[in-house]
Amino acid sequence: MDLERIIDDIQQLEEMFEAPDVRPLSPSDISAANRKHDVALAHSPWFRLWQSYGICCRSENPVFQPQARER
């Protein structure tokens, strides 16, 4: 095995994966990111307040499905 060739191949792969993804976001990508954001902030009192008053910069209606509160 040529060790230098293997190292070169690995470096080329690393460079390929370091390149940014320049594809435009699709509507489903944006929707998925919004859902992930909503789930991550679902327990924030500020986030719940903003959602309850409909303060939102998204084009679609916010969807919030509160889970049962633990006491």
Does residue 37 lie within any of the structural domains? Answer: yes
Q: What is the DSSP code string of 17-54?
A: HHS---SPPPHHHHHHHHHHHHHHTTT-HHHHHHHHTT
**69 vs 12: CA distance, rounded Å:** 50
- Stretch 58-62: mean pLDDT: 57
44 part of a folded domain: yes
**pLDDT band at 71; cut points 50, 70, 90:** very low
pLDDT confidence tier of residue 56, bands split at 50, 70 and 90:
low
pLDDT above 70 for 38: yes
Task: Flag whether 4 is in a domain.
Answer: no
Question: What spatial distance separates the first Cα and last Cα of the chain, rounded to whole Å?
Answer: 62
Query: Structurally, how many domains does the chain consist of?
Result: 1
pLDDT at 32 over 50: yes
With respect to residue 67, please indicate whether it lies within any of the assigned structural domains.
no
Judged against a pLDDT cut of 60, whether residue 63 lies above it is answered with: no
24 domain-assigned: no
**Residue 47 belongs to what domain range?**
29-57
